[in-house]
Structure 1
């Protein structure tokens, strides 16, 4: 082919490819850029644009190859460096990604998305202070970057600075009020903050519900359902956590205990991620559907056609939720349970399953849903590890070891200050921290510095990263007394602690998430370890630490007491739920007949 003719074809295909790309006709653009590269494999623009399209398709490996070649042609192009950073990020190479983003920023300091990319990567590496600076730099050059506002909120939430997190989530929503995922992030923070009252939280949650209704066309009749009162009820679970996750550990404790003649289960997983736990759980469900790729409309149609009588949300406003789906009302009875600890704000959800200890009747004003009380609102599967409860460590150590195996995101300055006061009051005592964040030296240094700021020498702190389950449970044998965070009490950790014979001090608050400690300790007869304020929390810890004989006695019998309680009795909660679901169904039939 003559050179002139070839050049003309390249120019025409390239121009049409750019035009198609700008019109968001990416399949056509992709084809045209590929044609250009067949004619000229060193065409910078085709390499760059095709690389961008492949990034959008998550084909990071080929995108990386194209962008490396493009960079070799124009090594000082900031946009190429930025996109190459995205490719490395997609490939899971954080170090190379951060290098590329930093290079892009150096080449073009005003390139906001390069600052954003750098911030995302260093944030994933736990370098939060660095991430905050980079996010703020991104916003300096482009204040409309919703992702920067949202991700700043997430970084501050991980740092337990909920006030700052709330502020940035709100600024992100101002830019796009329709972003329900960001709205969920905001509500998670508000529900976890003692600076937000239940009424303030509910007001914001109702705004979420109103927004969800804007795109929903709710079902009002369910003619496909058999309306007989004694039929087998089809109960559907919607969750992104039907895998190795605490929610799965809770439901697995009881879903195998239902009478098949009374309850049939259908799963609607919001994620395509599956693991060994998912495969095990599938055996308990009559049907299992993945709705990750479905729109809310299509997912609602699937649930409606699956003839679900009672649909249960197990996520609330946590990650991967599909709460907006519930605004379509695909089942006549809809329930919120386990995965969340406050109102969803979605008026189409009829009930929130809870207990009197977690949410007494006078808390009715906290919810758009109606409270339905059960004896034990949470039951965990007994851990399948062979770890014995050893004798009280204080007996051999000669000092008391307090412990926290909670995420650092739950440990606000007020929590750390309170725990340090306990250490001041209990001579020679130590505090054992164990969590996944402590794999990073920056987290360790920050935690030590914070405790030293409250007058506690770093030598009194024991820091350990997360470990496999047998080692994790074995670590409880190094703790005498657990310390529960507040206002966001521990969930799974509190069950594990009691199963390992470790009692803990808790502070009771004015909402579900700050009453979990009270509810769980009450079930094993340790309500005396629950305080109503920080001063009482400290006093109980000090008093308890002074009575080693009582501590040893409690430890010796606590696992047996916990296993016999509603905290681990899956059969008991299954039978209670059979009655609850039947009563809900009867209520629906009565309303339907009016």
Structure 2
């Protein structure tokens, strides 16, 4: 009876342990040990109770007392090993797992625990040995351990093979499904990773990590609606996961839902997330909403915490430019340019576009360094380009134009007349859009003028590349580069045999997947060829195409434009970010030396207007002499140029579309060419117009020429008459001849490709039948 009572007492205490009534079990174990200090079960039970309340040294001592009393009990070794592992004493834990396994070699949980400890210690090959020789009847847990060992060792293909074997044994194993998805992603098999995660969340929708990972992968693959659903499911499981709020915000940003994105970013910030990416995302969302003051505040909040984050600093300075806030701009080389040149991969890289407009004397070579690093960052997310396409179908060259700007946008304004003028005996024209359809006549006309038109906006970058490949495109042309809403990763997949960048981005993309850049001898002269990763194509006139049939509305009155009667009107309709302190000082001097004159500018952000007026006052010019023109439809915008006497170009980033608009409207544009592509477009337009006299060698000459025009009405009128005369016969506005030259360029690119030649400098004017 006494022995039976003792046994019943032990059983009751073990039941208390299993029910997690540790205080009861601990008290009972201590009572038993007072009666019999040699009772191994009581020491073992006490050790478990002590471990439950984190009394680690005491628990270890009790396990060792139990082990000394019963050295052949595997369960004591296992529990001590668990304790040591949780305490970070991995090697001791491994030794005790091995001891336990030697006493119970058939115990699967022991073998799995040993493998896990070895994997945690990054001793992956030892873990594979501990898992034992592979057999067809191995349980799923051992295949899982082999997969985990391979994955941690950086062998994702072998890991996925092991996980696949585990799933053959146990198809609905949650941990294996999740780990298999991670391995598939690492192997570049996102489709299979997504399938595994879909299966897992279908079986166990409460699996938070699976919902989050599924959202991440679906977002990357362009499945926006399903990705949003996964993120929202994760937030329903746990509302305070700031990383998920940030990721959901990034998804909403990608689909243009900027206001909702801001809400997510603010939630993430309120929940304690404070990394540079969050502040960059928040600032970018405000930026896209044109809430520039809020954008700048977000970037600066990030910089207060992460003062060396180059991406945050780059965007903050660009917004400052848009606000015409020039404080600190005199130190841009040391503050931004030099750190950008030194950037080595910590965090997000700086946007190369900002460096095309930065009011600092950056060289094309320096811009190339920044662009190459950005391209490397983009390319790192592309496991491998698409395999080379099969045999080409016979027939005309297929040219694919890819852009987000097939709507009421400067790119569409320039290109509107081009698509219909390609020689259909030589080429087919395929349009690819990933931007919005605004229903404008620009969109309708471009769609009508293409032989086929495809919307890529709902596709991931890889899917978009596959869609381009499916159209059997011979030469694909990226019209965006690194400008806003660009998707450069599409081209990193190499959807076409020849890849060209043109028109949208004034500089090199630094990307090995682009073969050519369409330019001219002015924007990229001989001495700058080495500063471009692409091979240069020199067009006979300007690289810039223009629509030779642009209509103009009826002219408004001066009063309707807010301009005083009789005043000389200096004009610059460039975006405010192109204006810098240096050129503005010259403009103020022109106003001081030309009584009654005004400066007619494009109306940007209200803060920019206030800053420009304040700066004018600081330089002794009444802020009322700055007149701001609101946005108008293109035909009305062109018509109001009738009241502009002289267009003053900006310095570091010239007038591009705005420059050709002014010339089309008959307004002379004076310019000073700089070193970079963006700073030489004004000179390119003047050359193509046939008026090199509008190009000045330096700022002093620029000022002098502007004053001559302002003070010599007859000379100005003669110049305006000359612009009007040349407009109808110059290459700048001859869309048909531009299309012929472009067709010739495409033909020569393809001939070289067919001959197996590498891309090389192409002077289109030297091709038969084309004049310079």
TM over 0.5: yes
1:359 alignment partner, SS class? coil
Aligned ranges for residues 130-145 of structure 1 at < 5 Å? 131-140=295-304
Confirm whether residue 20 of structure 1 aligns to residue 185 of structure 2: no
- 1:176 Cα offset (Å): 5.3
Q: Which residue is 2:392 aligned to?
A: 225
Aligned to 2:762: none
**Residue 45 (structure 2) aligns with:** none
Decide whether aligned partners of structure 1 residues 246 and 222 sit closer, same or farther in structure 2, where only a CA change above 3 A counts. Answer: same
Q: 2:432 aligned with 1:262, yes or no?
A: no
Q: Does structure 1 residue 505 correspond to structure 2 residue 670? A: yes
Report how far residue 401 of structure 1 moved: 1.5
Aligned residue for 1:421, secondary structure, equals: helix
Structure 2 counterpart of 1:336: 501
Contact 1:379 1:566 in 2 (8 A): no
Q: Equivalent residue of 2:731, what SS?
A: coil
Aligned length: 522
- Give the equivalent residue in structure 2 for 1:237: 401
Paired residues of 1:58 and 1:90 also in contact (CA < 8 A): no
Summarize the alignment of residues 283-298 of structure 1 with structure 2, pairs less than 5 Å apart: 283-298=448-463
- Is 147-156 or 347-356 further displaced after alignment? 147-156
C-alpha deviation, 1:304, in angstroms:
2.4
1:427 aligns with 2:631: no
Whether the aligned pair in 2 keeps the contact of 1:115 and 1:135 (CA below 8 Å) is yes
Please tell me whether residue 587 in structure 1 is matched to residue 587 in structure 2.
no
CA shift in 2, pair 1:150/1:137, >3 Å: same
1:512 counterpart SS class: coil
Give the SS at the match of 2:505. Answer: coil
1:202 maps to what in 2? Answer: 368
Tell which structure's C-alpha radius of gyration is larger. 2
CA distance in 2 between partners of 1:323 and 1:425 (Å): 47
Deviations 1:333-372 (A, max 9, x none): 2111111111111122111111122222232112111111
Corresponding residue number in structure 2 for 1:66: none
The answer to whether the aligner puts 1:406 opposite 2:571 as a matched pair is no
CA distance in 1 between counterparts of 2:611 and 2:713 reads 32
Segment drifting more, 568-577 vs 129-138 = 129-138
Q: Distance in 2 between matches of 1:303 and 1:125?
A: 31
Secondary structure, counterpart of 1:312 in structure 2: strand
C-alpha contact (below 8 Å) 1:402/1:480 kept by paired residues: yes
- 1:487 match: 652
**1:569 Cα deviation from its structure 2 partner:** 1.4
Q: Counterparts of 1:367 and 1:171 in 2: how far apart (Å)?
A: 16
Larger displacement relative to structure 2 (409-418 or 212-221): 212-221
Distance in 1 separating the partners of 2:272 and 2:425: 65
Q: Tell me the residue number matched to 1:89.
A: 259
Partners of 1:158 and 1:408 within 8 A in 2: yes
SS in 1 for 2:653: coil
Question: Secondary structure at 1:591's aligned position in 2?
Answer: coil
Q: Compute the TM-score of the two structures, normalised by the length of structure 1.
A: 0.76
Residue 488 of structure 1 and its aligned partner are, at CA, apart by 0.6
Unaligned runs of 5+ in 1: 1-15, 37-44, 61-85
Q: Distance in 1 between matches of 2:246 and 2:670?
A: 54
- Cα distance per residue 1:526-572 (max 9 Å; x no partner): 32121121111111111222220122233345334213222221111
Change (3 A) 1:296 1:176: farther
Contact 1:390 1:477 in 2 (8 A): no
Would the aligned equivalents of 2:613 and 2:624 in 1 still touch at CA under 8 Å?
A: no
SS at match of 2:399: strand
The equivalent of 2:612 in structure 1 is 447
SS of equivalent residue, structure 1 residue 378: coil
Which structure would you say has the larger RCO, counting Cα contacts within 8 Å and 6 or more residues apart? 1
Secondary structure of the 1:308 match is coil
CA deviation after TM superposition for structure 1 residue 188, in Å: 0.9
> Given that residues 112 and 142 in structure 1 are in contact (C-alpha distance below 8 angstroms), is that contact kept between their aligned partners in structure 2?
no
| Equivalent residue runs for 1:20-419 within 5 Å | 20=208, 24=212, 89-90=259-260, 128=292, 131-140=295-304, 151-159=315-323, 163=332, 166=336, 170=340, 177=347, 179=348, 183=350, 185=351, 187-193=352-358, 194-214=360-380, 215-218=382-385, 221-226=388-393, 231-276=395-440, 277-376=442-541, 377-381=543-547, 382-387=549-554, 397-419=565-587
Give the deviation of 1:320 after TM superposition.
Answer: 2.1
CA contact (8 A) 1:17 1:30 kept: no
SS where residue 90 of structure 1 aligns? helix
Q: TM-score, normalised by structure 2?
A: 0.59
Q: Is the 8 A contact 1:269 1:290 kept in 2?
A: yes
Cα distance, 1:33–1:252 mapped onto 2, change above 3 Å? closer
* Cα shift at 1:411: 0.3
My pick for the range that moved more, 282-291 or 162-171, is 162-171
Whether the 8 Å CA contact 1:266–1:286 is kept in 2: the answer is: yes
What's the secondary structure of 1:561's corresponding residue?
helix
Kindly indicate whether the alpha-carbon contact (under 8 Å) linking 2:399 and 2:474 is maintained by their aligned counterparts in 1. Answer: yes
Shift of 1:312: 1.0
In structure 2, the partner of 1:63 is none
Instruction: Give yes or no for contact 1:150–1:172 (8 Å, CA) kept in 2.
Output: no
Matches within 5 A, 1:465-544: 465-544=630-709
CA distance in 2, matches of 1:282, 1:445: 41
C-alpha distance in 1, partners of 2:495/2:614? 52
Structure 1 position 262, deviation (Å)? 0.9
**Residue range with higher mean Cα deviation, 460-469 or 413-422:** 460-469
- Distance in 1 between the 2:465 and 2:365 partners? 30
Moved over 4 A (4+): 16-19, 25-34, 45-49, 51-60, 108-131, 141-151, 164-177, 388-391, 396-399
SS of 1:368's equivalent in the other structure is coil
CA distance 1:211–1:557, change in 2 (3 Å)? same
Offset of residue 234 of structure 1:
0.4
For residues 302 and 55 of structure 1, do their structure 2 counterparts lie closer, same or farther at Cα, with a shift above 3 Å needed?
closer
Determine helix, strand or coil for the equivalent of 1:352.
strand
